[in-house]
Chains A and B, each alone.
Chain A
Amino acid sequence: MERMTPLIETRGLTIGHNRKPLIGGIDLRLCRGQVLCLLGPNGAGKTTLFRTLLGLIPPVGGEVALLGQPLSALSRTDIARRLGHVPQALATPFAFSALDIVLMGASARLGPFARPGKPERARAMAALARLGIADLAQAEITRLSGGQRQLVLIARALAQDAAAIVMDEPTASLDFANRLQVACAIRALADAGTAIVLSTHDPDQAARLGDAAILLNRDGVIATGPIQETLTEARLTRLYRVPVTRSLGTDGRMHFH
């Protein structure tokens, strides 16, 4: 695994807005099938990091590489073919169907004047089926539950056919059942080979889903590394600035209080 080309790699990355550095020294390395969890309080720069990885804002310093190629050398379409995006929520005033939304994911692989045809439609349906929501294809997204909408957005990222996907708090504001459903879907994707970076407020979920973690707060990067070594009591206490205790459940999983 170490010898493979990392799908996402950052070297000495400094992120920020309008050339004002927010966090520096971010070194990430994400390979096929890995889930990297981003933990940190609100305002720590998680979304800024995502937007930098997606090339939506330029890095203040350092470098991002997607599949070994520097981000600065890639066009919008090139980036979209390498890295998918699942936003926190849908932000459109129009009542698209689930299938409409998923079809949009095909755009990066279509010519500028092309519209999605039969193959794209088949791929979109496959993506929906893979997440177990094929029956919702024609449903209006406004009538779907929060979890279903999140699954639709993940299906869109799948239809984009990118090797890696970044997900901005995919389970925030979901109820328990929906959260479970989305988390299972994410793990299944990773097990099938997609590399995933996701942000979460829930260390338990990170421990369950993640292979690696990065802890960010206003002071900068608190820790990076494999999940077991990174999610320690001391580091989480430092991260959230409240005492955190870790216990091992009967299932062998970590739990945080």
Chain B
Amino acid sequence: MDERALNTALVGALLAVLILGAAIGPFALSPARIAAVLTGDRSDSQAVTVLLNIRLPRVLAAAIVGAALAAAGAAYQTTFRNPLVSPDILGVSAGAGFGAVLGLLLGLPVVAIQMLGFGMGLLTVALVIALTLALRGAGQVLIMVLCGIAIGALAGAGISLVKLLADPEQQLPAITFWLMGSLAGVKRADLAAALPALLIGLAPLLALRWRIGLLAMGDDEARAMGVDAGRLRLLVIACATLMTAAAVAMAGVIGWVGLMVPHMARLLTGPRFDRMLPAAILIGAGFMVLVDTAARTVATLEVPLGILTAVLGAPIFVLLLARGARPWSE
């Protein structure tokens, strides 16, 4: 499909999903009431509260989280030249998860928990990069990934330690649930906090997406074609980390999206990063809105997003594979 036509179709699909997400929820609101609130009618205060304070922020937050994770995953798969890579590869989720559960353990206010998660996510990746540079492995993707795995394992141990120390009646359920990912408590303020991180991370990736795509050919080739591969990869890592840490701080650890959505996008656009990235962002946002709509409607209790992304995502993914489309070499 033509690039522009595809992106138009994906934007249309995302809008449809956003409308669907805004229309469905446990609090029954008729389309007429929703339309009235959205067109500025403030007479029905409960409908206003449900729609403007609860449902819409949450739908938009889901879109942001999905877009961030998908973009980070797409960028990582290309720059690390590995279709199995997810945004967690350098330990950002484990680090952010550790920060947030530490905040939960210490009983900090929610904003502080989110900041601690965000900060620890950034710190973890910074540590991985520093370690890689210290080992003179800057040009070697493998060393960087191994450092990421090592630091990520430390953060994972930290999470286990926090779980051990947590009060099993009150804190442990909260920690466990947080680690499975949820947007149940999202507020407009959270949205305002996460949006800049998303935009700051996304803008360079979009602007430089052609050059970033060259990293898929390997460092030497990319450099021979005029791209400063080492520096560009560090920029990609910084952007992807910023977005992922913001997403994890707001929504908890949500797996699968960052791994799977880039593959879905690649099936539609082919492997060229400059075409795949916008598609991945749009698909990621739409997919996450769908998943979160399911999370808040399939049951009375909130179903963790981490469970749903896998339950919904894995069959779709296998179906795509079964249809024989494999946009990577074997």
Contact = CB atoms under 8 A, between A and B. Distances in A.
B228 interface: yes
A112 interface: yes
Given A90-B217, A94-B329, A95-B326, A80 B271 contact: no
A119 B82 CA distance: 31
Nearest to B224: A85
A115 interface: yes
B1 to A, nearest CB: 14
A108 to B, nearest CB: 3
Contact of B328 (A76, A79, A80, A94): A94
Interface string B216-240: 1110110111111000000000000
A150 interface: no
Contacts of A142: 329-330
A108 B274 CA distance: 16
Interface residues of B, number: 32
A108 B226 contact: yes
Contact of A115 (B209, B227, B328): B209
Contact of B210 (A77, A90, A114): A114
Contacts of B210: 107, 110, 114-116
B83 A94 contact: yes
Given A76-B226, A107-B210, A108-B225, A91 B83 contact: no
A80 B225 CA distance: 5
A54 B223 contact: yes
Interface in B219-276: 220-221, 223-228, 266, 270-272, 274
Interface in B60-85: 78, 81-83
A113 B329 CA distance: 28
Given A77-B226, A115-B209, A93 B221 contact: no
A100 B220 CA distance: 18
Contacts of B163: none
Contacts of B228: 76
Contacts of A55: 223
A105 B327 contact: no
B108 to A, nearest CB: 41
Give the interface centre of A76, A94, A110 by most chain B CB atoms within 10 Å.
A94
A93 B226 contact: no
B211 interface: yes
A246 interface: no
B186 to A, nearest CB: 33
Contact of A51 (B211, B220, B226, B330): B220
B246 to A, nearest CB: 24
Contacts of B326: 95
Contacts of A121: none
Given A94-B328, A115-B210, A80 B270 contact: no
B16 interface: no
A81 interface: yes
A10 interface: no
Interface string A76-106: 1101110111010011111111001000110
A93 B328 contact: yes
Nearest to A96: B271
Nearest to A55: B223
Interface residues of A, number: 34
A217 B15 CA distance: 64
Count chain A CB atoms within 10 A of each CB in B214, B225, B272 and give the residue with the most.
Answer: B225
A159 to B, nearest CB: 10
Interface in B186-226: 207-211, 213-214, 216-218, 220-221, 223-226
B216 A94 contact: yes
B330 A80 contact: no
Contact of B227 (A107, A113, A114, A160): A107
A248 interface: no
Most interface-central of A54, A55, A107 (chain B CB within 10 A): A107
A107 B207 CA distance: 14
Contacts of A95: 270-271, 326-329
A192 B216 CA distance: 31
A104 B81 contact: no
A87 B221 contact: yes
A123 to B, nearest CB: 14
Contacts of A94: 78, 81, 83, 216, 266, 271, 327-329
Contacts of B207: 113
Interface of B: 78, 81-83, 207-211, 213-214, 216-218, 220-221, 223-228, 266, 270-272, 274, 326-330
15 contacts: A51-B220, A76-B223, A87-B220, A87-B221, A91-B81, A93-B83, A94-B83, A94-B271, A94-B328, A95-B326, A95-B327, A100-B272, A107-B210, A107-B211, A112-B208
Given A81-B226, A142-B329, 18 more contacts: A76-B227, A79-B224, A80-B224, A80-B225, A90-B217, A92-B81, A92-B216, A92-B217, A94-B78, A94-B81, A94-B271, A94-B329, A95-B270, A95-B271, A95-B327, A96-B271, A104-B217, A107-B225
Interface of A: 51, 54-56, 76-77, 79-81, 83-85, 87, 90-97, 100, 104-105, 107-108, 110, 112-116, 142, 160
Nearest 5 Cβ contacts at the A-B interface: A80-B226, A108-B226, A94-B271, A85-B224, A77-B226
